[in-house]
Amino acid sequence: MLTNTTARIRLECFTLVFFGFPACAGSLLGAILLNLNLMPHPTPENGMEHPPLTGVSVLITRPRRQAHELCWRFEELGAKVQVQAAVEIAPPDDWGPVDAILARLEEFDWLVFSSTNGVNYLIERLCLLTGSEQIPEGLKLAAIGPGTAEELKKHGLHAKFVPREYRAEALADGLVDVACLSDGCGKRFLLARASRGRQVLSDRLVAAGAIVEEVVVYESRDILPNNPDIMKVAVELEAGRVDWVTVTSSAIARSIVQLFGEKLERAKLASISPITSGVLRELGFEPAAEAVEYSVEGVIQAILAEKRKRL
């Protein structure tokens, strides 16, 4: 029986063929349930009779694989939630480079993850190739934020370093310190990354004397505008029936502007970070709220803070 309590279940590693993509099942469970509309609908947070976001319509633009927990949190707060991914996350077109680098993981001192997607795709591929999620002894892991570190925990792995500020600049600067790069140690770093994104992490580590290799472990692509679901969301935005739109990455910021254009002016935009806010401003849209903590929970708190200002 499904309840309002989120159960954290550790699934042992096995291969699941899902639309032709081999994966460890635990990380796909939420996405499958969300797509089948089988997710439990939470009751109001803490039993409140009138949750703070009652009657508020929120459009979540994250990929569905990442959206389920955010949906739960907004529904707990009383919001009406709609999910429409603005970007598509998919396995790389060619696993060859990933497989080759996984075969020599022991050569690296640090394996660095800048997203939960990076964790899932790399560890799931490792699981498929070796039958285990275990990494070589002595290989240290770094995560860009607590969400990514938590994703590692789901695979039985521990992040040795997580920066206090959840952005690539802080991750790079922190790694320079903890890996004693300033002493010229020449440590080797492997960056698990998307097919697109900023180069600031690699550039800063190389500038500090690190030996850096990057591997694309997943593709990030914009959703095409001729999708019928996109057209429905566009109608909702134009009619003013969407109060908030979550914007949780720079890629999503660019994609939603391309998809919806001026229709976004009818809603308020909630940005996950100053970097994402800067992209929105470059495109002509001012965010109504910006997360203080650069995480999806930070986006929720930014919306709540903005709502309290208007009371």
Give pLDDT, residue 189. Answer: 95
In sequence order, the 6+-apart residues with CB closer than 8 A to the CB of 279 are: 250, 253, 254
Give pLDDT, residue 166. Answer: 78
Looking at the chain, the number of H-run helices and the number of E-run strands are 11, 12
* Domain chopping of the chain, boundaries: 48-86+226-309, 91-221
CATH code of the domain made up of 91-221: 3.40.50.10090
Give pLDDT, residue 243. Answer: 98
- Return d(Cα 54, Cα 69) in angstroms, integer: 18
Give pLDDT, residue 9. Answer: 27
Whether 113 contacts 89, CB under 8 Å: no
Which residue, among 261, 252, 259, has the nearest Cα to 285 in the 3D structure? 261
Which residue, among 200, 202, 199, 198, has the nearest Cα to 188 in the 3D structure? 202
Cα–Cα distances (Å) from 223 to 31, 63, 179, 228, 307, in that order, read 17, 10, 39, 11, 30
Q: How far is CA 77 from the centre of its chain?
A: 21
| Percentage, residues of the chain above pLDDT 90 | 66
Q: How far is CA 178 from the centre of its chain?
A: 25
Q: Specify burial of residue 174 (Cβ count, 10 A radius: 0-12, 13-18, 19+).
A: middle
Which residue, among 50, 70, 53, has the nearest Cα to 61 in the 3D structure? 70
Whether 68 contacts 196, CB under 8 Å: no
For 139, phi then psi, to 5°, come to -80, 120
Domain 48-86+226-309 has CATH 3.40.50.20: no
Whether 237 contacts 266, CB under 8 Å: yes
Residue 180, classed as helix, strand or coil, is coil
The two beta strands, 87-90 and 289-290, are: unpaired
Give pLDDT, residue 49. Answer: 66
Q: Which residues of the chain have pLDDT under 50?
A: 1-43, 45
Q: At what angle do helices 146-154 and 116-130 cross, to 10 degrees?
A: 20
Give pLDDT, residue 33. Answer: 42
